[in-house]
Amino acid sequence: MSATETLLEISDLKKHFPIRGGILGRTVGYVYAVDGISFKIGKGETMGLVGESGCGKTTVGRCILRLIEPTSGEILFEGIDITDIDDKQMAKLRPKMQIVFQDPYASLNPRMTIKDIVGEPLFVNGIARGLELRRRVLELLLMVGLSEDHMNRFPHEFSGGQRQRIGVARALSLNPEFIVLDEPTSSLDVSVQAQMLNMLQDLQKKLALTYLFISHNLSVIKHMSERIAVMYLGKIVEIALKAELFRSQLHPYTQALFAAIPIPDPEISRERIVLGGDVPSPVNPPPGCRFNPRCPKMIPVCKEEEPQLIEVTKDHYVACHLVK
Amino acid sequence: MAQLKSPLKMKSGLSKWREDLEPQVRELRFTIYLLRQSPLVVAGFILMFAFVSMAIFAPWITPYGPEERIWEAKLQPPSSQHFFGTDESGGDIFSRIIWASQLDLAIAVIVVATAMAIGSVMGAVSGFLGGKIDEVMMRITDIFLAFPALILAMTIAAALGRNLTNLTIALIIVWWPAYARLIRGQVLSEREKLYVEAARAVGAPTRRIIFRHVLPNSIYPLLINATLDLGGVILTAAGLSFIGFGAGAGIAEWGRMIADGRNYLFQSPWMATFPGLAILLSALAMNLVGDGLRDVLDPRLRR
Amino acid sequence: MPDILMSIRNLRTYFYTYAGVVKALDGVDLEIYKGETLGLVGETGCGKSVTALSIMQLVPNPPGRIVSGQILLEGEDLLKKSEEEMRKIRGAKISMVFQDPMTYINPVLTIGDQISEVILLHQDLRKEVLAMKIEDLRRKLEKVEPTSGSARDFNSKIEELEKKMNDPPKPSKSDVKKAALKKTIETLKLVRMPYPERVVKQYPHELSGGMRQRAMIAMALSCGPSLLIADEATTALDVTVQAQILQLLNELKREIGASILIITHDLGIVAEMCDRVGVMYAGVIVEYTGTKALFRKPLHPYTQGLLRSIPKLHKEMERLEIIPGSVPNLIYPPPGCRFHPRCLYIMEMCKKERPPMFEPEEGHYVACYLYGQRGN
C-alpha cells in the first residue's frame, strides 16, 4: 500500500444471516450478505464502497463497528483484531469509530430533543453532564453549521439536510478517528447534498478523520473518495485508486455500472451497456462468479470457478477470469 | 470553548426547567388544536371533565351523604328534594350517584394505570430481549388471556373475598396481559429502527435503550387503548358489582345500585335507570376521548 | 409549430394547514406537445409532484385545493370536469406511474387482475371478444379436413361472426375477462416483460423491483393514453435496473406515440430522456427550454447553481459549488422573484415583483430580470 499508516484492515470478512423456517424455527438457509471481503484503509483516507442494493455494503459498515457480529474474518483496527475482544475492551474502542446513518428521518429518536440526541454519547460514556454537556453539544452543533436555538427542538422540526447534520454532530461527539458514512446524502436534495459533502470534506481536514464512504451513487463516491471498491452480491469485484478506476474499468460489472448512470450532459454519448435481469438476492448466489448470469462477457469457466481478487496493475485489483 | 448565549447563573433552576419543557409545551398546544377540530371529541372531553369534577367536588355538591338514609322517604320518585328519587332504604339517588363516581372513576384509573405500568415493563423487556424470556412471558400472558375476562375476575374476586379492593386487584390481574402483548408488538417493530442502532453505536447500555428509547416510542397505541379501557373497566366493575362480586350491599357504587334497583324495576324504575345512565355516559365519554386521541396522536396525521 | 396536447395556464394549488397556507404551486404555465418527452425537474418541495397530482386532480383535499388556473387537454379544461368525468380520463387518456412500485401496487391482487381491472374500467371489449371467437374457430378449422362437413360448419360460423364486426353483440362477463387478459398479456409484451403469461398469475411480491415497475408501466399504457406521467418512476430502483427502465421508456416513446411527462430531481435523467425541460423552484417554473439548450447554456441563476453543485462523473471538481441559503418556506414565500434571497445577481427589481417569462433566445424561456424588463 502507500506510505500512510493503515488504520483499518479487513480480512476475509463474512456475514451470513440465518433464515429460520419451519415449525421448530430451524435454520433453512442463509443470506450471504457479505461473503469474503478484504481491504485496507489508510489513516486520513476516504475509501469509497459502491454497489447496488443487496451487495452487502451496508452490512460491511455495520460489521466493522460490530453493530452486527461478523460470522467470520478479521477486522484489525489500529492493529487490534476487534472480532476477538470482549465487550469491555470493545466499549473502550467504540468511541474511536462512529457511524452516520442513511435515513435522517429514522436515525434520530423522534421523542428526544437535539440536545439529548447529540449529548447522549457524552452522557452514556460518562464524559460530560449538565452544563458541561450543554457546552459540548453547542460546540458540536456549531461545527456542523447549526445554532443554539436548535438545541431544544425535536427532530421533526428540521429538514432532512439539517437532520443529517445532527447525525454528523452526534458521530463527532466522541472525537472518533474513523467514521462510516452509510449513504449520508442519498436522501438529500442535490443542493443540500453539495453543502453536506463540502462540510464532510472540511471536517475531515480539520479533525484528521478517516472515512469509509458507502453509497450507490458513483458520482458522489468519485467526488469524495481516494480509493474505490465495487461490490456485487457480497463480494468485492474491483478496487482501485479513483483516477485509475475512472480511466479504465476492468470488471464487466464496473463497466456496466459506469455506463448505467445518467450523465447530466446531453452532448456526451457513451457505449450503452444495459444489463439484463434484476439485481439478484444474496440468498442463493449463483455458482462460480456471482455475476455470471448477467455478465455480457461470460465464458464457461465463470460458471464453475469463483475468480479471486488479484492485483492486475499497480494497486488495481480485479476479480474476473477475463482479466489476468 | 463555545459561549452559551445566557450566562451560567441563569441556566439553573426554574428557567432551565422552562426551557427544557418548551418543546413539550409546543407539542401539547398542537395536540389541543387538533383535538378541537372534532365536535364529538370536544363533547367527550367536556363530559369527562364533568365526571371528574363531580368526583372531586362530591362532598360539596351533594345534598346528602353516601350512607344517609331517611326511612320515611323511601322509594319516592324524582322531586325537588330528591332529584333522582330515593331507593328502598331512603337514600338519595342523586347524591349516591355522585358519591359513587368517586369509587368507579378511582377504580378505573387505578386499574388502568397499574395494569399499564406492569404490562409495559413486562412487555418491553420481553419484546426487546426476545429469546427464552420472551417465550416464557408470552406463555404466561397466554394463560391469563385464555380465560374470559369476566370469569377470571370473578374467580379471583371470589378467592380473595368479595369487596371493592379485591375487585380492583382482580381487574388489574385481568387487564395487564393485554397491555404487555400490545407493548411487546410495538417494541418488536421499534427495536429494529435506526435510532436504536444509533444508540447502540454510541455505547448506550441495553437498559437505557429499552426505557429511554424504545418504550417512549411504543407507548402511543397503549395510551389510546388505556383511555378506551377506562370505559371498559367502569363497565366491567359495574357488571361484577351487579352480580355481587364487588361492592357489598348498600355501598354507593353504580353497579351495586343497579343491582339493588333490579327488584324494584317496575315500581321504582329511577333506582336502576339513573346509575345506568351514569355508567353509559362515563363510558361514552372515555370512548370519545380515546377515539379523539387516537386520531390525533397518529404520527402520520400530525405532520 | 408542433401540436399542443396539454396546456397549463396559471395553475395555483394551495395547501391549507395548521401552520398556514402552503402555496405549493403559484402560477405554473406549461405546454406539452404531442409525442414529446417533457421533463419537469427540481428539488424537494419545488412543486413538481404537486403539478402531476393537479393534472390528475388527485390532490388530497383537504388540505389541498386547486385554487385557480386552467389545464386544457385537447381544448377542454380538466379543472372544470366532474369527478365522474375525471375518472374516465384517469387511466385512459392520462396515466401515471409512481415512484415506489412496492407501495402503490395492490399486494393481494395478481398482476393480471390489476392490469385487467384498468382495461375493464375503460374499454368496452366487444370487438376484441368477437375477434377472439373468430380466431378460436379458425384454429379449429386448421385441425380438420378442408373438405369435411365440420370445415364447412366452421367456415359458415366464421362468416356469420365477421358480418357482426361492425356492431358486435354484448359479450358475456367471462368472455370480456378473457379478452381483457389477452390484452394484458399484449401490454406486458409491449413493456418487454419476460414470461408475460407467467407474470399475469403472479403476485407483486413475487416480482423484482424492476419487473414491478414494468408492470406498472404496462398498467399505465394498457388503454393507450395520450399522456404518460412518470413521477420519479426510477428513483427507487437500482442504477442498473433504472437504466433498463429508461431504455424501455425511450423505446416506447417511438412505439406508442404518447407524450411523456418525466418528473425527476436527477438532471442526468433529464439529459438522457427529455426533448424539452422545465426547471421548477418554489412553486414556479424558472426556466423552460429544449434539453440541449438548457445544459449548453443555462440562463437562470438557479439552474446554473444546480448544475454546478452536482458531482459529475465525467468531470473532476475539487469542491462543489453550493447555492447559498435554503429552499424558502412556501407559507411565506419571498416577495418578488422567489429565488432572490439566494441569487448572486440580485437587483432591486427582483425583490419587488415576480419576473415574467422572457424569451432571450428562440424557444428558451427564463423568468429572470437579467434577461429583460417588465413591459418588454
The answer to whether the beta carbons of residues C62 and C68 sit under 8 Å apart is: no
Helix or strand or coil: residue C27? strand
Residues C221-256 pLDDT 10s: 988 889 999 999 888 888 888 888 998 888 887 888
Q: Nearest by CB to B204, which of A120, A138, A139?
A: A120
**Rounded alpha-carbon distances, angstroms, from residue A181 to A54, A186, C25:** 18, 11, 36
* Residue C197 burial (C-beta neighbours within 10 Å; 0-12, 13-18, 19+): exposed
Give the whole-angstrom CA distance, residue C46 versus residue B108.
51
DSSP secondary structure of A120-133: HHHHHTTS--HHHH
DSSP secondary structure of C309-376: HS--SSS--SS----SS-PPPTTSPPSSSTTGGG-TT--HHHHHS----EEEETTEEE--GGG--TT-
Q: Which of A89, A107, A157 has the highest number of chain B CBs within 10 A, making it the mutation to test binding with B?
A: A107
**Rounded alpha-carbon distances, angstroms, from residue C274 to B187, C41, C262, C267:** 47, 11, 8, 10
In chain C, residues with a C-beta closer than 8 Å to the C-beta of A279 are: 208-209, 238, 240-241
Residues A72-99 pLDDT 10s: 999 999 888 888 888 888 888 888 999 9
Residues C265-315 pLDDT 10s: 989 899 989 999 999 999 999 999 999 999 999 999 999 999 888 887 777
In chain A, residues with a C-beta closer than 8 Å to the C-beta of C302 are: none
My answer on whether omega of the bond before C62 falls inside 30° of 0, hence cis, is yes
Residues A127-182 pLDDT 10s: 888 888 889 999 999 999 888 888 888 888 888 889 999 999 999 999 999 999 99
Distance from CA of A129 to the nearest CA of C (A): 34
Calculate the CA B117 to chain-centre distance.
Answer: 12
Q: Which amino acid does the sequence have at C15? A: F
Question: In terms of CA atoms, which chain C residue is nearest residue B34?
Answer: C18
* Residue B254 burial (C-beta neighbours within 10 Å; 0-12, 13-18, 19+): buried
Give the whole-angstrom CA distance, residue C90 versus residue C122.
9
In chain B, residues with a C-beta closer than 8 Å to the C-beta of C18 are: 30, 33-34
Q: Is B150 on the interface with C (CB under 8 A)?
A: no
Q: Is B203 on the interface with A (CB under 8 A)?
A: yes
* Edge-first strand listing for the sheet containing C4-17: C20-33, C4-17, C64-73, C76-77
Which runs of consecutive H residues, i.e. helices, occur in B244-269? 254-262
Residues 293-352, chain C, touching A (beta carbon < 8 A): 295-296, 305-307, 309-314, 317, 319-323, 326-327
Q: Which amino acid does the sequence have at C58? A: L
Q: What percent of chain C has pLDDT over 70?
A: 99
In chain A, residues with a C-beta closer than 8 Å to the C-beta of B217 are: 109-111
Give the whole-angstrom CA distance, residue A220 versus residue A181.
12
Q: What subunits make at least 3 CB pairs under 8 angstroms with B?
A: A, C
Q: Among positive and negative, which fits the CA dihedral C2, C5, C9, C11?
A: negative
In chain B, residues with a C-beta closer than 8 Å to the C-beta of A154 are: 23, 27
ipTM exceeding the 0.90 mark:
no
Cβ C271–A191 below 8 Å, yes or no? no
Kindly state the cell numbers that stand for C36: 414529446
Q: Is B5 on the interface with A (CB under 8 A)?
A: yes
Long-range contacts of C207-210 (CB under 8 A, 24+ apart): C207/C111, C208/A278, C208/A279, C208/C241, C209/A278, C209/A279, C209/C101, C209/C102, C209/C236, C209/C237, C209/C238, C209/C241, C210/A278, C210/C237, C210/C238, C210/C241, C210/C244, C210/C245
Cβ B202–A138 below 8 Å, yes or no? no
Helix or strand or coil: residue C26? strand
Kindly state the cell numbers that stand for C195: 414470461
Residues C75-125 pLDDT 10s: 889 888 888 888 888 888 899 999 888 888 888 999 999 999 989 888 888
The answer to whether the pTM exceeds 0.80 is yes
The answer to whether the beta carbons of residues A254 and A50 sit under 8 Å apart is: no
* Least confident residue range of A13-17, B247-251, C153-157, C324-328: B247-251
